[in-house]
Amino acid sequence: MADDSLNAPAGKLTKREIGSIMAGLMMAMFPGALDTTIIGPAMPTIGRELGDVEHLPWIVTSYLLVSTAATPLYGKLSDIHGRRIMLLWAIGLFALGSVLCALAPTMITLALARALQAIGGGGLMSLAMTIIGDIVSPLERPKYQIYTSIMWTTASLLGPALGGYLADKWHWSMIFWINLPICLAAWFMTDSKLKRLPRHERPHKLDFAGAGLLVLASMLVQLMLSWGGTRYPWGSTPVLGLMAGAAVAIALLTWRLRTAAEPLIPLGLLSNPVVLSASSSVGLCMGVFVGLSIYVPIYFETVIGLTATQSGLALLPLMTGSTIGAVACGRIMVRVRHYKIAPMLGLIVGGLCLLPLYFRPEGMSLLTIEILFTLVSIAVGGVFPVTTISVQNSVARHELGTATAMITFMRNIGAAVGVAVFGALAIGAGISELSAVADAAHGPDYVTQFRWIFLAGAIGFLLSAAALAAMEERPLKSHGSGKL
């Protein structure tokens, strides 16, 4: 039975108290945000030094798959044990995984360590956003966008430059060691500040079987895309076996979600048209964004001819423009009735900006490329606050944790699929071999394949815009998150 404090309005916390809690949450989210921006420029160096470029996408994919499965569980665990305790567990597991990543001697052990890191990472973002939903009403939530904007801007500015510099001048393991002092600071800040939160436990059943089936199905699909046409022909027995295995795993997952007493992904929640449209839009958008953030550094190093440090700096426009889009759309959201129009138009513009890179991936000036990536990043940023707040605004208060975990879950699923698709396009053309070469020799085959990556990105943005267009715009509530 839920605690009565669940009904307590956010107004019982003063603005100063809310600001103090928000600062702690931003510090908790920061390691996860930095991880998404720091690893991209270091990936070619990691592949070369560990001597296994073929499995390079797995250090991203393993993190995404496990964090995707962990995210819904955190939503329910926080309802059972409290937000603060589960956030501290997430920070601790993320720190432990970071140590094991830094010590990993092979690509396989690095991918496994990233999976452990992801068990913690799966809770950092979703729990922080859930707590924000607990203490700030949907109407007021965009006003606090400045906190998340500052956090993402800092991570976006530091991550790419720091990742390239550490990999180029020091050692790639430093991108993981740097997480330790950040996690320590996050632990102490959240441990003290989140004691002010009201407790509102609610009993849940945890669907570990569903989480396992989700990871299994995703891994089989990823292996099929990675090996098909490269290590094995598409019609070969191993690839056909992976296809069959993935189909069986997906069928079992679907059966589990329909029959479990409390499934990992609440199918009833997906019947909410706002949740379905917003989750689809953010999933498609995130798939393109993460795919670009992983392969654009390789594009810079192989096609444009930049070093790892230069590539990290050149990635900044793609990573930092999202803050502008998030702040702008967050402010627009509280002022206009049709708040989805701005991010929808942004996605269309972002898709159109990738088309010049499809038609002419080499030969354009670096300045022109950076301008295009800035516009792409602004488009991505506008989607996140609008979809998250729309979903939180459309559900009852007791569904807030699950709904927030759902949209984070769909972001992770989209990212995993995006990395898999972009990786299949890249590795299928031998880009993995080129990224293992120390110099930045140009190759027409690689240029051609990057064209298809940019075209896939443009299509993904346009599909995301279509899903957002289908989302119902409900008036933002000025009180909590709905009725029990």
- For 331-350, give one letter per residue: b (16+ CB within 10 A) or e: bbbbeeeebbbbbbebbbeb
pLDDT of residue 64: 76
Half-sphere exposure of 418 (CA within 13 A, CB side): 31
User: Do the beta carbons of residue 122 and residue 68 sit within 8 Å?
Assistant: yes
Q: What mean pLDDT, rounded, does the chain reach? A: 78
Instruction: Please spell the DSSP secondary structure of 387-410, one letter per residue.
Output: HHHHHHHTS-GGGHHHHHHHHHHH
264 against 46, higher pLDDT: 46
d(CA 373, CA 484): 43
Burial class of residue 40 in the structure, from the number of CB atoms within 10 Å of its CB (0-12 exposed, 13-18 middle, 19+ buried): buried
pLDDT of residue 482: 39
Q: What is the mean pLDDT of residues 254-270?
A: 78
Q: What is the mean pLDDT of residues 150-176?
A: 81
Phi, psi of 158 (to 5 degrees): -75, -45
- Residue 470 belongs to what H/E stretch? none
Query: 194 vs 10, 56, 300, CA distance in Å?
Result: 14, 38, 42
197 against 159, higher pLDDT: 159
**Tokens coding 319:** 């990573």
pLDDT of residue 429: 47
pLDDT of residue 199: 56
User: Do the beta carbons of residue 446 and residue 431 sit within 8 Å?
Assistant: yes
pLDDT of residue 6: 36
330 against 338, higher pLDDT: 338
Q: Which of 38-42, 158-162, 222-226, 282-286 has the lowest mean pLDDT?
A: 222-226
Give the pLDDT band of residue 344 (cuts 50, 70, 90).
very high
Residue 49 clears pLDDT 90, i.e. is over it: no
pLDDT of residue 96: 93
SS3 (DSSP) at 438: coil
Q: What is the pTM of this model?
A: 0.69
pLDDT of residue 391: 86
Residue 131's identity, in one-letter code, is I
pLDDT of residue 441: 41
d(CA 436, CA 440): 10
**Tokens coding 126:** 């979703």
Give the pLDDT band of residue 431 (cuts 50, 70, 90).
very low
Residue 93 clears pLDDT 60, i.e. is over it: yes
pLDDT of residue 371: 93
SS3 (DSSP) at 194: helix
Q: What is the mean pLDDT of residues 418-423?
A: 78
